[in-house]
Structure 1
């Protein structure tokens, strides 16, 4: 029976033809999925029971118990700051790190791999806690590339096109690294690669171009899952090289990626980690007379006097209020895009909202197909589907499945497919049996075998539909840049003279070179916490003289007598 499980992010271009990047998939990509079986309603409501407006006071409120939030909490504790509370909307921790068990094995709906070893804090954390298997089982990867009529493409042609595409993409990355000027009218990665493809195909006779073009199209479809976008025409050419890949390849945690959450949560007291507490509003500039002391708090840390001195008020959807000196906000970029204007009071500065809107937050979903018995050749690990390029004018219901570019073998009875962009959004709206039947039809078509069995279970992620993610991970869209990531991460101060910010931001979307990765989220959380750990410094003097355009004109107006 088909089921939907959902709730409510090695070198990318290795010579292995498998996909892989980190809250991004790269050539062994991980898409962001979530699971919620019978608990969906509970998670969607966030446990919104009436708390009769009880309140709690603390030094720091951390919004979100994903990697960034847990990293921030641990760094605070290491610096002897224990007066904090974590507010998590779901009824679980981990955010976009989650797995389910299928046929006795952990299947990741979120992060699959630790991407890179050298300089990766996630690898260091996993290694220090005995979560890494030093001996990695690198099985041979054997693919078959097939056309819609079932004909197979010789592997040497696939390898030829892969090698060409590898260098096309490398040249795109060089624009950021070397500040080259692109050809006129070329702004996106997709446009640049298609230009290179057209030049490359000129060397072949007409009858040899089509198959090669289909392989390029397959690689571009896969790249949308790697980068987290609808099409590669959305990704800024000058910024694609801003993402930094750590050396060392990809590492799989034998106990599943969620095993990394254990070391991060074991020292956090239960009363400091509040699940089922979706945040409704963040008021970060108190009234002149402070927050009024109303109903007495029910928590030991609640103090009317301390409440009045608080700089930030956080109100949850269940009515509970938290008053703190600082807030670390790890709300995903997709949710900030949707609710950023309404959650914060005062609203986020215009420069910050502009940057939030310029960045992409793509949708990438997984589809798992579980079978009663094996049916693929034991030596085969992936079936590549070489579709004709998608015609965007074609109705979405007639083309959504053409974004599924391959079926990879997880076990002999379990296949995995990926889908991105608008097609992924549409897939999330379909009945589970429809997804299962369409995948079966694709396999039968491309393998030219009408006896391919139907799966006994189909599991697909629905990251776009989840209110606490609204997408998968961050990409730098056309017109955006690293500056936008820096703008989003920039903290908010209650007053210019304050020594420490009232609101800090963290998450994968807040790291300028590791965006879309788990280690990027971890580092951003640690950096936000470190800002609060440094000793208070005397507020700097801010000179604000009306009518002066620059410092020299202000100095000229000073009398030295």
Structure 2
């Protein structure tokens, strides 16, 4: 007995049988990171409840044509202070993309197309896009802002650029260019509207050093999940994360009492119990359903963050061609602009207005038969809601309208779209610091504050929206999952001291 007591009281010792049951809600990067960390540290009584019929969350890799493609997270943003990069790079799985802002010999070709099928700004399109990419790191002029919004700052900086290039950019082109560039910037910042994004928080954001568009070569972002689960590099060392995951289990109620016992109900009527819950579902789901899910309601700090932090809207459209109509030896970034008259016409057409949310198109590295369309903002929902047949027909008409005058177009073999915004298990893409969150002093740290009972964390929150320094990223989601797993590991390593 004395020997057992000595063992129990040794700092950091894990003793089988004393560890709690843990339910992880969500099998995205944060949930898988948390579960893997717990398993790796001897906490094995784990169940993962995943609402979708697959693992991955907002990392959604699917077979399309001859390729595996990402409908969600795609690029590793940065080479320093980035968990995803640190996981993939030592294994030789990553490569620098040729994307916007790259100014060496591998720079992409920049073109600007109009809704009249014209190519404009041939000499200055590249300079404009690179200039726009640098705005987030240029605070000059922010002292003159009226609203404190990033959107106001972006507009001011763009009009400075136009004023310095009056010969290349006439006045009647400025509004359409501004709309297009703002859509591009919404895609990187995640905001539903740049005017709702806090400029102050943009300049406080702790980014990652190095190149910002690193890709997984022929692979997809699902690779990072396999690394987390230790399936890569050695499948024989894979952690049993998948075996502990139950799919199609949408959690609709979490009841936690004063004693700390937690009951979870899923939409199929099943009930589960646990000592701790790590909740990793998106901020979009929390915004829509937190009052219904949690009983009793969450503390004010968490609710304030849920209600005021922003959650953006982005979407992808991918076209697969047996015979690509573009030069597959080039990486081309196409900025999409609408004339004022064409925009007005489209706004009044409920079946086609979604096209106004398209900011740019690009070819895809390592996958030469793919053509990629990126959308941002509220028009994403309209695109997701139209029928499959109408969606495909209209996408082809969009290609014909913008590119038909300058290319010998071929017909795509297939077209797919993401559906993040209308899927009730996501309700959007990723988080951003909205002006309301600044006004009400809410932060990702507040969202990630655990709910405690008897000084013990019982409801823990992970996910990119809870990461103060790397929100809106997959690597931020991973770090948040590790953070909450470590919280439990440390709790149970020290509780018997």
Using structure 1 for the length normalisation, give the TM-score: 0.73
Deviation at 1:535, TM superposition (A): 4.3
Q: Does 1:70 align with 2:21?
A: no
**Unaligned 5+ residue runs, structure 1?**
1-56, 175-179, 291-309, 540-561
**Unaligned 5+ residue runs, structure 2?**
1-18, 99-104, 230-237
Q: Does 1:375 align with 2:338?
A: no
Deviation at 1:76, TM superposition (A): 1.6
Match of 1:142 in 2: 109
Q: Does 1:83 align with 2:45?
A: yes
Q: Distance in 2 between matches of 1:269 and 1:112?
A: 22
Q: Distance in 2 between matches of 1:134 and 1:219?
A: 26
Q: Does 1:522 align with 2:478?
A: yes
Match of 1:186 in 2: 147
Match of 1:324 among 245, 249, 274: 274
Confirm or deny: 8 A CA contact 1:146 1:384 kept in the other structure: yes
For residues 45-444 of structure 1, what are the structure 2 equivalents within 5 Å?
A: 59-127=21-89, 130=91, 132-133=93-94, 140-172=107-139, 182-202=143-163, 204=166, 208-211=170-173, 213-249=175-211, 250-253=213-216, 254-265=218-229, 266-268=238-240, 271-286=243-258, 311-380=261-330, 381-388=332-339, 394-395=347-348, 397=350, 398-410=352-364, 411-444=367-400
Closer, same or farther in 2 for the Cα pair 1:399/1:63, shift >3 Å?
same
Of the structure 1 ranges 272-281 and 262-271, higher mean CA displacement relative to structure 2 is found in 262-271
Deviation at 1:212, TM superposition (A): 5.0
Q: Distance in 1 between matches of 2:130 and 2:277?
A: 47
Of the structure 1 ranges 434-443 and 453-462, higher mean CA displacement relative to structure 2 is found in 434-443
Deviation at 1:63, TM superposition (A): 1.0
Q: Distance in 1 between matches of 2:242 and 2:118?
A: 58
For residues 452-531 of structure 1, what are the structure 2 equivalents within 5 Å?
A: 452-481=409-438, 483-495=442-454, 498=455, 500-531=456-487
Q: What secondary structure does 1:100 align onto? A: strand
Q: Distance in 1 between matches of 2:334 and 2:346?
A: 27
- RMSD over aligned CA atoms reads 3.0
Alignment length (residue pairs): 451
Q: What secondary structure does 2:192 align onto? A: coil
Confirm or deny: 8 A CA contact 1:145 1:384 kept in the other structure: yes
Q: Distance in 1 between matches of 2:356 and 2:199?
A: 25
Q: What secondary structure does 1:156 align onto? A: coil
Q: What secondary structure does 2:63 align onto? A: strand
Deviation at 1:271, TM superposition (A): 5.0
Confirm or deny: 8 A CA contact 1:329 1:503 kept in the other structure: yes
Of the structure 1 ranges 159-168 and 275-284, higher mean CA displacement relative to structure 2 is found in 159-168
Q: What secondary structure does 1:155 align onto? A: coil
Q: What secondary structure does 1:405 align onto? A: strand
Q: Distance in 2 between matches of 1:94 and 1:186?
A: 38
Confirm or deny: 8 A CA contact 2:357 2:378 kept in the other structure: no
Confirm or deny: 8 A CA contact 2:113 2:335 kept in the other structure: yes
Q: Distance in 1 between matches of 2:179 and 2:377?
A: 15
For residues 22-33 of structure 1, what are the structure 2 equivalents within 5 Å?
A: none
Of the structure 1 ranges 383-392 and 318-327, higher mean CA displacement relative to structure 2 is found in 383-392
Q: Which of 1 and 2 has greater Rg? A: 1
Of the structure 1 ranges 60-69 and 83-92, higher mean CA displacement relative to structure 2 is found in 83-92
Q: What secondary structure does 2:124 align onto? A: helix
Deviations 1:87-137 (A, max 9, x none): 112222111112122232111111212222222222222245x36156878
Closer, same or farther in 2 for the Cα pair 1:354/1:393, shift >3 Å?
farther
Q: What secondary structure does 1:470 align onto? A: coil
